[in-house]
Amino acid sequence: MALLHSRRLLAAPRLAAAASRASSWWSHVEMGPPDPILGVTEAYKRDTNSKKMNLGVGAYRDDNGKPYVLNCVRKAEAMIAAKKMDKEYLPIGGLADFTRASAELALGENSEAFKSGRYVTVQGISGTGSLRIGANFLQRFFKASRDVYLPKPSWGNHTPIFRDAGMQLQGYRYYDPKTCSLDFSGAMDDISKIPEKSIILLHACAHNPTGVDPRQEQWKELAAVVKKRNLLVYFDMAYQGFASGDINRDAWAVRHFIEQGINIVLSQSFAKNMGLYGERAGAFTVICSDADEAKRVESQLKILIRPMYSNPPVNGARIASLILNTPDLRKEWLTEVKGMADRIISMRTQLVSNLKKEGSSHNWQHITDQIGMFCFTGLKPEQVERLIKEFSVYMTKDGRISVAGVTSGNVGYLAHAIHQVTK
């Protein structure tokens, strides 16, 4: 009897703990799905193959496969350290020298919208944070529609950013998997049928994840149909300078739309083109009808930002601002960003060349036609699975690779592996 009593006493805490778990505020919370790119990285880290490659990460690597900090960034950091600057809060809208320089970089120094002051730019927490500021602003003030039309496919984070801000997601044709290129006729057809006063998101350059961009003549046609349909254009520009190596060429679409009288909204990121990934430097811009409207919009953006994070981080904005506003540093940056872009372009060319050397009979021209960090290879999920299992070449199952993970030392191995699973 005593033994039974002691067992009951021992069981009581366990029962109480179980009851506590059952009545937890969070017992209904389900385990969320893992991030697909994070899963690729984790599998890569576990792999012991000395030839393993991680082509999932969206960050630049040098030709030794190492993270790269730009020399102009190191110099800007040294200048900031030498000034022994304080760590006071920035204003809600961010560092003024940074926001002005960001707008000038995107719009161009001779832009009428820039010179007349009919724009407002606020600092955001890199590209994602800037997109979210914009999404929240549209949710609160764009009364004509809740529909945001994304290209198919688009960056994976676009959907949750706009959805979580209370917007409705729609889509338009963009990428043709049969040709691994732009479905321009499909895009034009879909966009021409979008209800008037809807929102359309466009990638300014280096479309993520496909690397497929319209040509300038195609951009002109897109601008014309967008203007005819009276759509609000949201440009996402995360790769200015990094795509082609030319900041003006990469901003051409943004500037053309504004020149056509289309008052866009724009998000920028300095993660890729300055390598400021962890510094979270970005900007959100609204082109307005006049300077007075811009002031009103700015006041409401500050009201939106204040309860989100009060004010943005200072260090990345200081670095980017110094680079953009100091002639010597800006010149060095333009050289370095072109160097990064050129390495990516070179790896595309070398990959196609090595595939031909392997004896591949497939047409791989889309690899060199595409631009920017990412490439849609056209590989099927079962081919990707073989690349991972047989060759330790890691990528997302849709066949997207980060060309930044390809180097002169491993491009031959990658070509061999791709040929083996596609022949």
**CA–CA separation, 21 vs 36, rounded Å?**
30
Q: Residue 108: which region, alpha, beta or left (left: phi > 0; alpha: psi -120 to 50)?
A: left
C-beta separation of 379 from 324 below 8 A: no
**CA–CA separation, 322 vs 73, rounded Å?**
9
C-beta separation of 321 from 95 below 8 A: yes
C-beta separation of 394 from 43 below 8 A: yes
**CA–CA separation, 123 vs 324, rounded Å?**
15
C-beta separation of 368 from 376 below 8 A: no
Helix (H) or strand (E) run with residue 177 in it: none
**CA–CA separation, 101 vs 107, rounded Å?**
10
**CA–CA separation, 231 vs 262, rounded Å?**
9
Contacts of 71 (CB under 8 A, 6+ apart): 332, 336
Give catalytic residues, as residue numbers. 155, 236, 272
Quick one: tokens of 120? 């407002």
Q: What share of the chain is helix, strand, coil (3-state, %, to 5)?
A: 50, 15, 35
